[in-house]
Structure 1
């Protein structure tokens, strides 16, 4: 592959500092199923049509229910959570863990503490 075809897609300095990056208030988590959960984040890159993006997301503890409308890759930077697909087994994720949630995935996320992740929506 020629380097002429490569375009830097993310701010690599911000990505390297994702664990300590200053985040913007993104408001309450719509998927929360218990007490309100607060989100914050920063978008590192977004496609022109908005269908793909990558960034850093943080959310306070609590239960939530997700229906994936797109594919998402996550890499957990801090905190821990348990994800349980409908009809499936729970999986605990913590710092250093990665997971892919394919389009159509449905299930619960139980954030045991504030979680910070790098995400890629594609």
Structure 2
């Protein structure tokens, strides 16, 4: 079975699961950050989850101690700062890998829409 979704063409209203960003996903650092998403795949054992996700601007702390994530930015812009390490700019067309164990911050400058694969 092939699962397909044109995540870039969905309106924000077509995304599901609207809520404020909160642990265990991430911790907002300067006020609430609204998110919207749509899961399109989850393995039977829950070790792989994929979908699309959108988040309003703000700064948040991310801790990937129990999972890793591959993201492909469709729209928006963010700066990812690794704890004690490099800073990376992410924008439309950028693919980024956040390996298991990575910690740092994401500063979303413009509402970010991404396709993601979370792996455990």
Deviations 1:45-85 (A, max 9, x none): 00112221100000000000000121110000000000000
**Equivalence map 1:18-57=2 (5 Å):** 18-21=7-10, 22-30=14-22, 31-57=27-53
> What is the TM-score normalised by the length of structure 2?
0.88
From 65, 69, 72, the equivalent of 1:72 is 69
Specify the alignment match of 1:4 in structure 2: none
The gaps in structure 1 that reach 5 residues or longer are 1-6
Alignment length (residue pairs): 111
1:61 and 2:53 equivalent?
A: no
> What is the TM-score normalised by the length of structure 1?
0.87
RMSD (Å) for aligned C-alpha atoms? 1.0
User: Which structure shows the bigger proportion of residues in strand conformation?
Assistant: 2
Shift of 1:113: 1.2
Which of structure 1's runs of 4+ aligned residues deviate more than 2 A?
none
Structure 1 or 2, whichever has the larger Rg, is: 1
Distance 1:54 1:46 in 2: 6
